[in-house]
Amino acid sequence: MKKLLTVCLSIPLIYLPITVNAAQFEGSKCSTIGKIKIVANASYVCGKAKIWKAVTKSSPSKANTPVRKVVQTIVPASTPTIPTMPAANSFALNGSKWPANKTEYTVALFGEPGVIMDKSIRTLPIALQKLANVTGNTFNILDVKNVAVPSIAAETTCSDSYSDIDVIVVGVSKWGKQPPDRTGDYHGVTSSRQINKVLQCPYIKINTEASDWVQEDFSATGKSVGHTIMHEFGHAFGLSHPEECSQVMQSCAIFVNEYGAGDRYGLYQLTQGQR
């Protein structure tokens, strides 16, 4: 009787459900490449970088998943080759990156009509072409003309309503006065989550009313929308601010409109270098 009671009491312990946070699971480390695991009704596969990657996600409601058309696809001109090692102060990594096997990204640009937004619409493909040539990635620009501008709140930008967008770019008016101690944030700023050092839903803001824009596109060296988009996408891929001032990612007084040696090396390491 005592043995029977012991067995009966242990049965519920065997079948107790284990709660796993799926958002924290994706991007975490795994050991067996190709292994499939189900977590919170979603399937994950152990990728070649030994990181769990979602295969199918839980199906959100149709009301939250609008179908967005790709209006332009940006492909790399060729497969990038590893750049020569630049000066150590010409690039800086922020410690996060996209999954190693991710090579295609969707991008959406939101904002109110205006001179800077018009320039942003025109220069975004140019900036993404420069980024594609360095990283070897493909970028799909989505049509969001009839889609509400997403909130800056992280829980909104990572929600199912925008789950088909990898990088959100928003032109923001009424930015306010320039912060006295953070001059770079006057033109653009990037916020993103990271789980286990894997980037999640970067959100880029562009100041459409910056009072000191020298150029509004790529027409000349100076404070430009083109430079700002390139700079913020650098952050969205895991780059930080280097000390050397001839790079797009610098935070010095001058601005440049072409990725420098440090920029190219850092972006290559964050993409081709980890594949």
Strand partners, 48: none
pLDDT value, residue 41: 57
What is the spatial distance between Cα 268 and Cα 245, in angstroms, rounded to a whole number?
A: 19
pLDDT value, residue 275: 81
Q: Is the CB of residue 27 less than 8 Å from the CB of residue 192?
A: no
What is the spatial distance between Cα 199 and Cα 80, in angstroms, rounded to a whole number?
A: 22
Q: Smallest Cα–Cα separation from 93: which of 271, 273, 266, 236?
A: 266
Task: Determine the residue type at 52.
Answer: W
pTM above 0.85, yes or no: no
Residue spans per domain, the chain: 2-55, 61-274
Residue 184's pLDDT band, with cuts at 50, 70 and 90, is: low
Q: Smallest Cα–Cα separation from 47: which of 72, 28, 74?
A: 28
Q: What's the fold here for domain 61-274?
A: Collagenase (Catalytic Domain) (3.40.390)
Q: Smallest Cα–Cα separation from 223: which of 240, 207, 237?
A: 207
pLDDT at 204 exceeding the cut of 80: yes
pLDDT value, residue 116: 86
pLDDT at 168 exceeding the cut of 80: yes
Per cent of the chain over pLDDT 90 is 39
pLDDT value, residue 177: 57
pLDDT value, residue 152: 66
The whole-number average pLDDT for the span 94-106 is 92
